[in-house]
């Protein structure tokens, strides 16, 4: 049997339908959190300057009224995804809108936001988005699931597996393995969140044990989930691990996303099996089994499936790009984004800028969050220096004024050191695919 025939084997779409439900639930919770905690104002209205990702400088900012309108649309579409109405339309609008707001300001980049955009794109591209499957009518569509090509199940498994695998690879560095950093710092900061565990979490050896558990967990989970005999136990470990870390660390909806998404490793028909077991309806298994036994009718892949394959190839290759840059990626941050470098470093810093002998304190212009993110990321420091140059040109009439920075960054609680030498004119440094010039590596 050829690879294409294997990809075209029809299987139940129920696993992806449940993923669609979980996606809608997670994104609805996330958008409600933005309204409840006032994050829309904090991250999109209060700032007067927005930092941009390289290549995405064209993503426009929105005036306050349109920002709130965008989030209202995101909330309505996420609810639509949750309840299974106008699925493809809601997925398309939500994915574009969510990715847009995520790219408005590069300082708010989060790996699980990136994953949410990816999953939204994959769900929108997949066959399950073609038909409405109302969640309230689950009893109807769970017994007559639409068959889909096996390729789509493999695609979602691969995407989730990549997040775990590259997250594990990122931890294979000296600070994490041999010094239990930054876990030592984070466990100390989490004291009091689980008081009954404080005596254990406070032990020096605990950070080392957790560090290695984190490595083994990330590197083994995607493979163990592929084996039927280990799958239930492994997913139970996944659920416990993500639940535990969500109590200790401020990681938002990431545990929910990963716990629900990893269910795609189970049998494509698992929601029906669970439904029948709890409702004692084992006799309603015949209808789709006949469909599953049908031979594939398509001997070729559709254009959207080739798009899927190309997309997944990029997802495999992009996380390796940091290898082409000199220095430690968690320090230089070159190639760190879109690569699943999840919670591998703790960095704090401070910076002052100088133009024409005048000292510029960015805290007078940036929000507290923007400042904390800017001072530890070289690209953002350069962007801010060019922003200062533009303002100085307007005020003085002089163009191309040099801008310097005095910065100190501490990584994983170690002695602070500068990202750039104070005599380097930051405005002369170009941000592109090449290694940044003047960066202390």
| Tens-digit pLDDT profile for residues 159-193 | 999 999 999 999 999 999 999 999 999 998 888 88
**Dist CA 385 CA 153 (whole Å):** 46
Q: Do residues 273 and 22 touch, judged by C-beta distance below 8 A?
A: no
Higher per-residue pLDDT: 7 or 171: 171
Higher per-residue pLDDT: 157 or 135: 157
Measured N-to-C along each axis, helices 14-36 and 111-125 cross at an angle, to the nearest 10 degrees, of: 140
> What is the enclosing helix (H) or strand (E) of 18?
helix 14-36
Does 275 score more than 90 pLDDT?
no
Buried b (16+ CB within 10 A) or exposed e, 102-138: bbbbbbbbebbbbbbbbbbbbbbbbbbbeebbebeeb
pLDDT of 287 reads 47
3-state secondary structure of 417: strand
Query: Count of CB atoms within 10 A of residue 213's CB?
Result: 12
* Residues present in the chain in total: 441
pLDDT of 140 reads 75
**Dist CA 232 CA 18 (whole Å):** 17
Q: Do residues 403 and 389 touch, judged by C-beta distance below 8 A?
A: yes
| Per-residue model confidence as pLDDT tens digits over 299-336 | 577 889 999 999 999 999 999 999 999 999 999 999 99
pLDDT of 296 reads 46
Does 127 score more than 80 pLDDT?
yes
- Nearest residue to 69 via CA among 77, 81, 57, 58: 77
Residues 6 or more apart from 27 whose CB is under 8 A from it?
Answer: 74, 78, 81, 82, 94, 98, 116, 120
Residues 6 or more apart from 347 whose CB is under 8 A from it?
Answer: 330, 376, 409, 410, 411, 412
pLDDT of 250 reads 86
pTM for this structure?
Answer: 0.93
Calculate mean pLDDT across residues 248-277.
Answer: 92
pLDDT-based confidence at residue 213 (cuts at 50, 70, 90):
very high
pLDDT-based confidence at residue 298 (cuts at 50, 70, 90):
low
pLDDT of 379 reads 96
Note the maximum CA span of the chain: 82
**Dist CA 297 CA 413 (whole Å):** 59
DSSP secondary structure of 226-244: TSHHHHHHHHHHHHHHHHH
**Dist CA 189 CA 344 (whole Å):** 16
Strands 147-149 and 347-355: unpaired
- Nearest residue to 87 via CA among 98, 96, 78: 78
- Nearest residue to 344 via CA among 202, 203, 200, 180: 180
CA–chain centroid gap for 348, Å, is 21
| Per-residue model confidence as pLDDT tens digits over 13-45 | 999 999 999 999 999 999 999 999 999 999 999
Percent of the chain whose predicted confidence (pLDDT) is above 90: 78
Mean pLDDT for all residues in the chain:
91
pLDDT of 195 reads 84
pLDDT of 299 reads 59
Q: How many CA atoms are closer than 13 Å to the CA of 266, on its beta-carbon side?
A: 22
pLDDT of 293 reads 42
- Nearest residue to 436 via CA among 392, 388, 377, 387: 377
**Dist CA 157 CA 310 (whole Å):** 16
Number of H helices, E strands in the chain: 20, 5
């Amino acid at each position: 049997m050829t690879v294409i025939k294997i990809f075209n084997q029809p299987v139940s779409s129920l696993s992806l339908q449940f993923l669609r439900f979980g996606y809608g639930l997670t994104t609805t919770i996330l958008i409600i959190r933005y309204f409840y905690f006032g994050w829309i104002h904090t991250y999109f209205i209060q700032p007067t300057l927005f930092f941009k990702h390289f290549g995405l400088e064209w993503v426009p900012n929105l005036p306050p009224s349109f920002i709130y309108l965008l989030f209202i649309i995101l909330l309505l579409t996420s609810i639509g995804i949750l309840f299974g109405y106008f699925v493809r339309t809601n997925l398309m609008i939500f994915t574009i809108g969510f990715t847009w707001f995520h790219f408005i300001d590069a300082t708010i980049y989060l790996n699980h936001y990136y994953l949410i955009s990816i999953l939204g794109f994959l769900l929108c591209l997949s066959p399950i988005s073609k038909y409405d499957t109302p969640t309230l009518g689950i009893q109807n569509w769970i017994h007559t699931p639409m068959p889909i090509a096996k390729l789509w199940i493999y695609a979602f498994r691969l995407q989730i597996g990549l997040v775990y695998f590259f997250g594990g690879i990122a931890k294979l560095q000296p600070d994490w393995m041999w010094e239990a950093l930054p876990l030592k710092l984070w466990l100390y900061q989490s004291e009091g969140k689980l008081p009954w565990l404080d005596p254990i979490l406070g032990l020096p050896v605990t950070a080392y044990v957790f560090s290695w558990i984190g490595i083994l967990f990330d590197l083994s989970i995607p493979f163990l989930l592929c084996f039927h005999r280990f799958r239930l136990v492994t997913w139970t470990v996944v659920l416990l691990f993500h639940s535990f870390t969500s109590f200790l660390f401020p990681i938002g909806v990431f545990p929910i996303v990963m716990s629900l998404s990893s269910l795609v490793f189970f049998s494509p028909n698992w929601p029906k099996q669970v439904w029948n077991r709890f409702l004692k309806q084992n006799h309603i298994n015949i209808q789709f089994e006949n469909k599953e036994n049908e031979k594939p009718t398509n001997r070729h892949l559709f254009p959207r499936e080739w798009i899927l394959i190309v997309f997944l190839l990029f997802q495999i290759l992009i996380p390796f790009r940091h290898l082409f840059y000199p220095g430690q990626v968690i320090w230089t941050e070159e190639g760190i984004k879109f690569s699943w470098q999840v919670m591998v470093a703790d960095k704090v810093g401070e910076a002052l800028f100088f133009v024409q002998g005048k000292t510029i304190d960015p805290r007078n212009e940036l929000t507290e969050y923007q400042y904390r993110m800017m001072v530890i990321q070289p690209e953002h420091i350069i962007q801010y220096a060019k922003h200062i140059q533009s303002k100085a040109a307007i005020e003085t009439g002089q163009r191309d004024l040099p801008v310097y920075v005095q910065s100190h960054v501490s990584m994983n609680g170690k002695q602070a050191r500068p990202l750039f030498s104070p005599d380097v004119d930051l405005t002369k440094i170009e941000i592109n695919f090449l290694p940044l010039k003047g960066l202390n590596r």
